[in-house]
Structure 1
Amino acid sequence: MEESDIKPWYKQFWPWFLICIPLSSFIVGGFVVSFATDGTNTLVVDDYYKEGKAINERLGKIEEAQTLNITTQLNINNDFISVEFLSGAPQTKQALKLDFYHVTLAERDFQVLLSADANGIYRAETDTLVNGKWRLRLTPLDESWKVQKTLILPTSMAISFNP
C-alpha cells in the first residue's frame, strides 16, 4: 500500500461514525430538556390533604342531588345547549352552571351559564368547539348539589344526566 492510496481521515467512514454518536446524544438531550421545561404539568396535585377534603365535599353534593332526585336531559346541538329537568327541578328557577372540563387539556376548560325559559328548560349559547372526551358538571349558582358525567362529544342524541 502506497502513501498515495491512504485517504485523509475526514474522507473515511469510521471517524464520522464515531463523531456522530456523541453528537446525536447532545441533540436528543436538547429535545428532552426542551420538552421537560416546556410547561407545568396540569395533572399534578400539590396538596393531597386539601384534595382529599375537597373530594368529601364533592361527594356530599352528589348525595344531595340524589336526595333531591334530580334527573335531567342534556342536549348539545351546534352552538346551543339545553338542560331539561325530568324530576327534581329547582323551584326558584335560578341560573345553573354547566362546566366543561377536557380530560387532558386544562386550557380548553370553560363554563356556560344556563338560564331558565318560560317552560322551565335551561338554555345557553356557546361559541366554543366541544369535540373529544369531556367531563361535564351541572351545579346551581350556590353549588348546593352537583350532577356530573363524562362523555364524548359531539353527539346528536339527548344525554341522560343523573347523579
Structure 2
Amino acid sequence: MKEPTAKPWYREFWAWMVLAPLIAVLVVSSITVSIAVRHADDTVSDTYHKENRMYHFSGAQDQRALALGLAAMVQFQRGAQAVIVELNGNTDYPGQLLLTLSHPAEEDLDQHIVLSQLSVGRYTGTVPTELNSRWYLRLMPELDPQKHRDAQWRLKGEINFDLGEAAPLNPARQ
C-alpha cells in the first residue's frame, strides 16, 4: 500500500478556510482607508482659531466693516465671464480687492478673483469658469487668500445662480 504524499500547505482546504477571512479583512480595510483619504472633509476657511480644545470665532473683521458702514453689490455677467462689484462705505478704497467664491461642499472648486478698481467704489474682475448653483462669497482688501485672517475688513454673502446673477455683501452680524 502506498502512503499518501503530503500536499503543500497552499493546496490544503483548511489553510484557505483560515486565511480567507483575514485576506478579506485586509482588502476591505484598505478600500475603506483609501476612500477616507480621497474624500476627506474640507477645511473651514474663516476666522476660527483653536484654543485648547475649543474653537473660537473672531468677528473683528466684521465689526470693523460694520463700523465703516461697508456694503457691496456683486453683479455677475455670465456671458462675458465678468464680475462687477459696487462697494459703498466710509473707507479708503483700495486699488484691488479679493472676491472669494467658496463652494458649499467641495474645496477644490473654490475660486479667488482679484478685482481691479475702475472708479471710486467700482471694481471688476474676470470669472475663470462658468458658475452654477449656490456659492458663498467673501470680499476683502487682502489679496493673498492664505492671509484672509489679516484683512482689515470683510463682507460676506451668498448667491444662487439658479435664482439670479446679483447678490448683496454685508458684514456678518453676530
Structure 1 pair 41–162 and aligned structure 2 pair: CA distance change class (3 A): closer
Aligned partners of 1:96 and 1:138 also within 8 Å: yes
Match of 1:74 in 2: 74
**Counterpart in the other structure of 2:140:** 139
For 1:100 and 1:77, how far apart are their aligned partners in 2? 15
Change (3 A) 1:119 1:65: closer
Instruction: Give the counterpart letter for 1:130 in structure 2.
Output: L
Q: Which residue of 2 aligns with 1:83?
A: 85
Runs (4+) off by over 4 Å: 25-34
1:106 paired to 2:107: yes
1:95 aligns to 2:96 (yes or no): yes
Letter of the structure 2 residue corresponding to residue 52 of structure 1 = Y
**Aligned equivalent of 2:9:** none
Gaps of at least 5 residues in structure 2 are 1-20, 143-149
Q: Return the letter of the residue paired with 2:66.
A: Q
Q: What is residue 123 of structure 2 aligned with on the other side?
A: 122
Shift of 1:89: 5.6
1:162 equivalent among 162, 170, 174: 170
Give, in whole Å, the separation in 1 of the partners of 2:135 and 2:93.
29
Of residues 151-160 and 131-140 in structure 1, the stretch that sits farther from structure 2 once superposed is 151-160
Q: Check if 1:52 corresponds to 2:52.
A: no
Query: What letter is aligned with 2:84?
Result: S
Question: What SS is found at the alignment partner of 1:35?
Answer: helix
Aligned to 2:160: 152
Residue identity over aligned pairs, in percent, reads 23
Normalising to structure 2: TM-score of the pair? 0.63
Range with bigger deviation, 150-159 or 115-124? 150-159
Task: Give SS of 1:84's match.
Answer: strand
Distance of 1:44 and 1:123 partners within structure 2 = 27
Query: Secondary structure, in 3 states, of the residue corresponding to 1:156?
Result: coil
Provide the C-alpha distance between the structure 2 equivalents of 1:113 and 1:89, rounded to a whole number of angstroms: 22
Residue by residue over 1:28-69, the C-alpha shift from the partner in whole angstroms, topping out at 9 and shown as x without a partner, is 777545423434332589x7338835x21xx11001111111
Whether the aligned pair in 2 keeps the contact of 1:76 and 1:155 (CA below 8 Å) is no
Q: Is the 8 A contact 1:137 1:149 kept in 2?
A: yes
Contact 2:132 2:160 in 1 (8 A): yes
Unaligned runs of 5+ residues in structure 1 are: 1-21
Are residues 89 and 159 of structure 1, via their aligned partners in 2, closer, same or farther at CA, if it must alter by over 3 Å?
A: farther
> Aligned Cα RMSD in Å?
3.4
Report if the CA contact (8 A) 2:72-2:170 is conserved.
yes
Name the SS for the 1:104 alignment partner. coil
In the alignment, which residue of structure 1 is the partner of 2:13?
A: none
Q: Tell me the TM-score normalised to structure 1 length.
A: 0.67
Which structure has more helix as a fraction of its residues?
1
Preserved CA contact (<8 Å) 2:62 2:153? yes
